[in-house]
Structure 1
Amino acid sequence: MNLMLVDKVVVITGPAKGMGAAVTRAFAAEGARLSLIGRDTSAIEPIAEEVRAAGGKAIVVACDLTDASQCENAVAATKEAFDGRIEILVNIAGGSGPMGKTGFETTPEEFDEIVTLNMNGCFHTIRAVLPTMIAQRYGKVVNVGGTFGMKGRAGRVAYSASKWGLRGLTKSFALEAGQYNINVNCVAPGMVDGPRFRDKVCRTMAEKLGISEAEAAERHAEEYALKRITVDADVANACLFMASDVSRQITGADLPVDGGWGAL
């Protein structure tokens, strides 16, 4: 199936590691032109160079996503580099917050930090790209949330709250932007295999229950209908779908990519 993403201008936040790198590679493989934005440009540049080496187009723009003015400047830099257009925004950047802490053990500072990153960052970037998309009468916004923002999770109060909030942003912006032919959706991964999952999530469970990290991973997989953990490519494919016109009649939706945990 041709997703018709060739030459589309895609802004990606959090493009350098894990699922972010997978999403970046997936859009590059479809022929999109990429604006990779984030605070640590030294971490982003290698993936941008990988895209360029394969014949793709990618720029790197320094941006603290919690700063609205920097997000506006990043959008301006993207438009200057790519013919004044931005067709797609994929918000991946985010943090995990405290793990294994109850709500009353979580400090106000810890709560504020993760909510600011996971919600405000997306709010700022969406606000920054919308005037361009409205003028074009075309746009796709894909926010990467999480299934803990669909069902909640003990010991992950701050993270769960931030992802529930992101769903609210997604649905409200979808209602407001739909009249301009702009789709706004949320891709919600479950646990995604990789260093964060293995070194933080599995290790925390293993230490708490006195089991191995491999056994902890197996316990997580057993919670899912498909009995397997999500991988980066699963998330990337979902983002491609939501960013393409194949999903033209879908907006304000939550798409769980979790092997059947959040929706079942």
Structure 2
Amino acid sequence: MDLKLTDRVAVITGPAKGMGAVVTKAFAAEGCKLVLIGRDVAAIEPVAAEVRASGRPAIVVPCDLTVPAQCDIAAKAALEAFGRIDILVNIAGGSGPIGKTGAQTTPDEFDEIVTLNMNGCFHTMHAVLPAMAEQRYGKIVNVGGTFGLRGRAGRMAYSASKWGLRGITKSFALEVGQHNINVNYVAPGMVDGPRFRDKVCADMAKKLGITLEEAMQRHAADYALRRVTTDSDVANACLFLASDVSRQLTGVDMPVDGGWAML
């Protein structure tokens, strides 16, 4: 199926590594023009260079997502470079304190993760929506997590931030639908990669006295499909929601978790 994304202008946050880099390259492969934004420009540049080497245009704009003025500047840079903004994919975010109960979480820890995971997405949406409304076209995809669909002991701050992002997503979807703008939420489950293997599985293996492979299998057993999500699974969901194939979907929560959060 042709998603008809060729020459669409996509602003992507958090494109430097892991899931963000895979999503970025997936949008480039579909023919998008890319605006890659984040604080660590040096980390983003290699991804941008790879995109350019594939024949697709990409610019890198320094931006602290927690600073509204910098998000406005990034949106202006996108418009100056490409004349329009068709897609916003918010991937950048943090994990917050891990393994701490709500009572153990400090106010500073709570504020930090909520500010990044909620305010950051709000600021970028606020920055690009005027251009989308004027052209009467836009696709916004906020990447959250399944702990924003189900509570999680030991992850209160992160879970709260992702529940909040769902509320932002749904309210904006109601408000901007009249301008032909879709706003949706992708919720990855546990995603395979260095952090999953070296941190999550390693911690389980140590606690239970099992091998790393056994720990991975235990995690996979939690899901209906008995497999852990990959970065490419998340990228495909983002592409779908950023395309006109999903033209009639807005305000939805799309778990990409192999069957856990909704079952």
TM-score range normalised by the length of the shorter chain: over 0.9
CA distance 1:125–1:53, shift in 2 (3 Å)? same
* Deviation larger for 22-31 or 198-207: 198-207
User: 2:93 — aligned with what?
Assistant: 94
1:223-262 to 2 correspondence within 5 Å? 223-262=222-261
Would the aligned equivalents of 1:100 and 1:204 in 2 still touch at CA under 8 Å? no
> In the alignment, does 2:61 pair up with 1:61?
yes
- In structure 1, what is the Cα distance between the partners aligned to 2:90 and 2:226? 28
CA distance 1:206–1:101, shift in 2 (3 Å)? farther
SS across alignment from 1:151 = coil
- In structure 2, what is the Cα distance between the partners aligned to 1:69 and 1:212? 48
- In structure 1, what is the Cα distance between the partners aligned to 2:189 and 2:33? 28
User: In the comparison of the two structures, how many residue pairs are matched?
Assistant: 263
User: 2:30 — aligned with what?
Assistant: 30
**Following TM superposition, by how much is the alpha carbon of 1:49 offset from its aligned partner in structure 2, in angstroms?**
0.2
> For each residue in 1:145-181, what CA deviation from the matched residue of structure 2 results, as whole angstroms up to 9, or x when unmatched?
1001001111111111110000000000000000000
- In structure 2, what is the Cα distance between the partners aligned to 1:213 and 1:110? 30
Would the aligned equivalents of 1:145 and 1:187 in 2 still touch at CA under 8 Å? yes
Which one-letter code corresponds to 2:204 in the other structure?
M
RMSD, aligned α-carbons: 0.9
CA distance 1:101–1:205, shift in 2 (3 Å)? farther
User: 1:4 — aligned with what?
Assistant: 4
**Following TM superposition, by how much is the alpha carbon of 1:212 offset from its aligned partner in structure 2, in angstroms?**
3.0
> For each residue in 1:45-104, what CA deviation from the matched residue of structure 2 results, as whole angstroms up to 9, or x when unmatched?
000000101111100000000000000000001110112x00000000001111111111
* Deviation larger for 98-107 or 159-168: 98-107
Which one-letter code corresponds to 1:11 in the other structure?
V
User: 1:185 — aligned with what?
Assistant: 184
Q: Which runs of 5+ in 2 are unaligned?
A: none
SS across alignment from 2:192 = coil
User: 1:166 — aligned with what?
Assistant: 165
**Following TM superposition, by how much is the alpha carbon of 1:236 offset from its aligned partner in structure 2, in angstroms?**
0.2
Which one-letter code corresponds to 1:110 in the other structure?
E
Which one-letter code corresponds to 1:115 in the other structure?
V
Which one-letter code corresponds to 1:225 in the other structure?
A
- In structure 2, what is the Cα distance between the partners aligned to 1:29 and 1:219? 34
1:45-84 to 2 correspondence within 5 Å? 45-83=45-83
1:65-144 to 2 correspondence within 5 Å? 65-83=65-83, 85-144=84-143
Which one-letter code corresponds to 1:5 in the other structure?
L
TM-score normalized with structure 1 length: 0.98
- In structure 2, what is the Cα distance between the partners aligned to 1:120 and 1:200? 27
Would the aligned equivalents of 1:63 and 1:70 in 2 still touch at CA under 8 Å? yes
User: 2:42 — aligned with what?
Assistant: 42
**Following TM superposition, by how much is the alpha carbon of 1:112 offset from its aligned partner in structure 2, in angstroms?**
1.0
- In structure 1, what is the Cα distance between the partners aligned to 2:32 and 2:92? 19
SS across alignment from 2:98 = coil
- Identity of aligned pairs, percent? 75
Q: Which runs of 5+ in 1 are unaligned?
A: none
TM-score normalized with structure 2 length: 0.98
SS across alignment from 2:88 = strand
Which one-letter code corresponds to 1:138 in the other structure?
Y
